[in-house]
Amino acid sequence: MMTLQNLFRSRQRVTALAVAMAATFAVGAAQAQLDTQLVASGLSSPVYATSPVAGGPIFVLEKGGAIKAVMGGVTSNFLTIPVNSAGERGLLGLAFDPGYANPASAGYRRFFVDYIDPTSLSTVVASYRASADGLSADASSRVEVLRIAQPAGLSNHKAGWLGFKPGDANSLYIATGDGGGSNDPSNNGQNTNSLLGKMLRIDVNRDDFADPNVNYGVPTDNPFFGLANTRGEIWAYGLRNPWRNSFDRQTGDLWIGDVGQNAREEIDRIAAGSPGGQNFGWRVREGNIATPSVGGPLQAGMVNPLLDYEHSFGAAITGGYVVRDPNSPLFGRYIFADSVSGRIWHIAGDGSTQTMANAVELTSFLDLASGGPLGSVVSFGEGANGEIYLVDIGGKVVMLTAVPEPAAALMLLAGLGLLAVRRRRRD
């Protein structure tokens, strides 16, 4: 005879089993709803893609210096910039002004690029203006915004991402690497008098400098504004190579994918309401651990990452986006990848601390999708309506899409619930 206690335990087990199976299937069903659509192929080392205007061109950045416009399946040349593309140099960042499509805005038809100058090998951020049809840019409209000297003889850790925070049309955020070399030999990441190894924030609609080649303002609410021996442009520091980053278009949170050295890769996050000033630890810290051979314990003021992973998963993180495409089954999830292992995952996009045990892998689903197998995903991008692009440095860009949820998914979930009820009744 079943005791009351055994009956209760039996019901608990059946209910837990049903919930676990339903949750597992729900994740699988969400992934099964994902598909990819080929946007462009035959590209030369693409490193970024975005579409700032709904129904307008998709712009693809090529490492060698070209920006391509893709419209109606046709790829044309938008702008070519002379760059040095050796190692991790090249044309690395692109951001469209929030006022790009607004004729009344100071940012009308304006966009910004980040690249390595072919002569000085410095990082340069410059602005240009697009033509009326949006399919080409006026090379003569170039305005140099800022220039950052890079260490001599080092061709890696140049970062290059650019972005505007939702709701702030003045502030351009700029990600810089530590300048290269093993263990950050000049300790640039921790040096607040250097612009390397940082997340910068500048005002592109103001000019605080007499120099005609320096065309920006330093926001007075930046965390280090006005401090002696400190660069006021710094928003956050202690970064190694924050290669790909993004703002959550719904919350304004800043997500940073910082490429590690020999042990850990990490994802950092700055909440939308933060005053800035975070120190993410490099070179003292690599992810959640002391940097091998040069690091130490977490110091006062240093911030641990939201997630880090060992090199058994991969060896070069590609930061992604919190998905805000209302049609996507991944809505509210943060998607990211590793360009060395070729693996792709998603985690909760709510800002809670995560581990790889929480990460759901998408690699096999996306490799079998309509856009064809993906190789090295070196960047993600976002369209005007929140659609997500995946950029394969092998030469193509695909868009993440959704397919109708199979009726079988709903049937199985309903069946699991019915099974639980029947078991309880039998017990």
pLDDT per residue as tens digits for the range 263-297: 999 999 999 999 999 999 999 999 999 999 999 99
Find the radius of gyration of the CA atoms of the chain. Answer: 23
Domains of the chain in start order, with CATH, are: 36-426 (2.120.10.30)
Confidence band, pLDDT 50/70/90 cuts, at residue 18: very low
What global pTM score does this model have? Answer: 0.89
Distance CA 14, CA 95 (A): 52
CA distances from 293 to 241, 261, 263, 268, 290 (A): 19, 12, 11, 23, 8
Distance CA 304, CA 214 (A): 34
Percentage of the residues of the chain whose pLDDT score is greater than 70: 87
**Whether residue 408 has pLDDT greater than 80:** no
* pLDDT value at residue 422: 34
Write the CB contacts of 69 (distance below 8 Å, at least 6 apart in sequence).
Answer: 57, 58, 59, 75, 76, 77, 78, 134, 135, 136
* pLDDT value at residue 31: 65
* pLDDT value at residue 403: 83
Distance CA 160, CA 150 (A): 13
| Residue range 90-108: mean pLDDT, rounded | 98
Distance CA 152, CA 185 (A): 12
* pLDDT value at residue 406: 54
**Whether residue 5 has pLDDT greater than 60:** no
* pLDDT value at residue 4: 36
Distance CA 283, CA 181 (A): 12
* pLDDT value at residue 253: 98
Hey, which residues does 398 pair with through a beta bridge?
Answer: 38, 390
In tens, the pLDDT along 151-163 reads 999 999 999 999 9
Lowest mean pLDDT among 2-6, 137-141, 349-353, 396-400: 2-6
Among the listed residues 115, 88, 93, 258, the one whose alpha carbon sits nearest the alpha carbon of residue 180: 88
* pLDDT value at residue 30: 61
First-to-final CA distance of the chain: 11
* pLDDT value at residue 37: 97
Q: Give SS3 for 76.
A: strand
**Whether residue 175 has pLDDT greater than 70:** yes
Please provide the average confidence, as pLDDT, over all residues in the chain: 90
In tens, the pLDDT along 309-355 reads 999 999 999 999 999 999 999 999 999 999 999 999 999 999 999 99
